[in-house]
């Protein structure tokens, strides 16, 4: 298996593929001021196995197209929604977030937890805006500095991983400059990283190594993940995922 296939294998059969929690999704949902007596046309972009998709479907009148690049995650989501009787509300779709099959001004809400970084925040907010109705909402979580300065080690790690990392004030300005008004912002607490993501992932390391015969690449995937967890434990006061809820203005 290639490294990317192994990364997908490590993240399969889990509730979430990134930091987050049901509480965070519900908190962001509180800022969506759309009429609740009508169905909402929603895209959940980079949905993974759909932790947040299920919460959205259960707590709003959303009719969701759940989009991901990888069928393994969409199949897991489909199994979950079948068990919960949500297949009418959640339609999985394999597509790239760079090339979405929506018409202009078709959507009431675009949701994307921990995924917009794949095309970059500044590119994503521009590209996706066209699919939103005027007055429609964008809810995205995105890696964000929590302080104006930070230790060199963590600064360099994230600059290498994702050069678009910046502070919330800069992200909010980017949204405003691109025709959105900010409706809410908060950042994910450590529990959403540790209990929601890193803890369960670390619990899968041994089985992942065993089923991949402890190959060199599988060991590298685990080492990289352990390094990322160690950095989070050391520097969690300096960064988190910010959750940005914004409305498309006319
Ligand atoms: C960090 S995970 C977040 C998944 C989920 N939203 C969550 O919070 O648990 C990012 C997701 O984006 C998906 N992804 C990566 N590149 C993509 C692309 N170009 N188009 C659509 N999805 C993509 C990955 O397969 C993965 O499921």
- Predicted pLDDT of residue 127: 98
| Cβ(133)–Cβ(248) below 8 Å | yes
Confidence of residue 221 (pLDDT cuts 50, 70, 90): very high
For ligand 1, whether the C-beta of 70 sits within 6 Å is yes
The domain ranges of the chain are 19-152+162-190+241-248
pLDDT (tens digit per residue) in 2-22 = 999 999 999 999 999 999 999
Shortest-distance atom of ligand 1 to CA 44: 6
Burial code (b: 16+ CB inside 10 Å, e: under 16) for 77-107 equals bbebbeeeebeebbebeebebeebebeeeeb
* CATH code for residues 19-152+162-190+241-248: 3.40.50.150
The stretch 220-241 carries a mean pLDDT of 98
CA–centroid distance, residue 126 to ligand 1 (Å): 18
Q: Could you tell which of 9, 12, 16, 48 is best to mutate to test the pocket of ligand 1, judged by most ligand atoms within 8 Å of the CB?
A: 48
The stretch 40-64 carries a mean pLDDT of 98
The stretch 144-164 carries a mean pLDDT of 96
Confidence of residue 86 (pLDDT cuts 50, 70, 90): very high
CA–centroid distance, residue 238 to ligand 1 (Å): 24
Burial code (b: 16+ CB inside 10 Å, e: under 16) for 208-230 equals bbeebeeeeebeebbeebeeebe
Q: How far apart are CA 8 and CA 176, in angstroms?
A: 35
Confidence of residue 103 (pLDDT cuts 50, 70, 90): very high
Mean pLDDT of the chain: 97
Closest Cα to atom 11 of ligand 1: 46
This prediction has a pTM of 0.97
The stretch 54-60 carries a mean pLDDT of 98
Confidence of residue 38 (pLDDT cuts 50, 70, 90): very high
Closest Cα to atom 19 of ligand 1: 96
């Amino acid at each position: 298996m290639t490294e990317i296939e192994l990364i997908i294998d490590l993240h399969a059969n889990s509730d979430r593929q990134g930091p987050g929690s049901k509480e965070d999704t519900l908190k962001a949902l509180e800022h969506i001021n759309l009429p609740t007596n009508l169905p909402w046309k929603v895209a959940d972009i980079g949905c993974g196995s759909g932790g947040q998709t299920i919460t959205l479907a259960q707590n709003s009148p959303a009719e969701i197209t759940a989009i991901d690049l990888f069928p393994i995650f969409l199949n897991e989501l489909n199994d979950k929604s079948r068990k919960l009787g949500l297949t009418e509300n959640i339609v999985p779709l394999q597509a790239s977030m760079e090339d979405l099959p929506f018409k202009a001004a078709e959507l009431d809400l675009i949701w994307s937890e921990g995924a917009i970084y794949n095309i970059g925040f500044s590119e994503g907010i521009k590209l996706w805006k066209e699919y939103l109705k005027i007055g429609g909402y964008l809810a995205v979580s995105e890696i964000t500095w929590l302080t104006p300065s930070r230790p060199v080690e963590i600064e360099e790690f994230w600059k290498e991983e994702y050069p678009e990392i910046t502070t919330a004030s800069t992200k909010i300005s980017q949204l405003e400059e691109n025709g959105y008004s900010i409706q809410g912002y908060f950042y994910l607490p450590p529990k959403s990283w540790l209990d929601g993501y890193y803890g369960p992932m670390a619990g899968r390391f041994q089985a992942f190594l065993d089923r991949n015969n402890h190959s060199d690449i599988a060991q590298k995937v685990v080492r990289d993940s352990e390094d990322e967890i160690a950095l989070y434990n050391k520097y969690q006061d300096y960064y988190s995922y910010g959750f940005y809820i914004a409305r498309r203005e006319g």
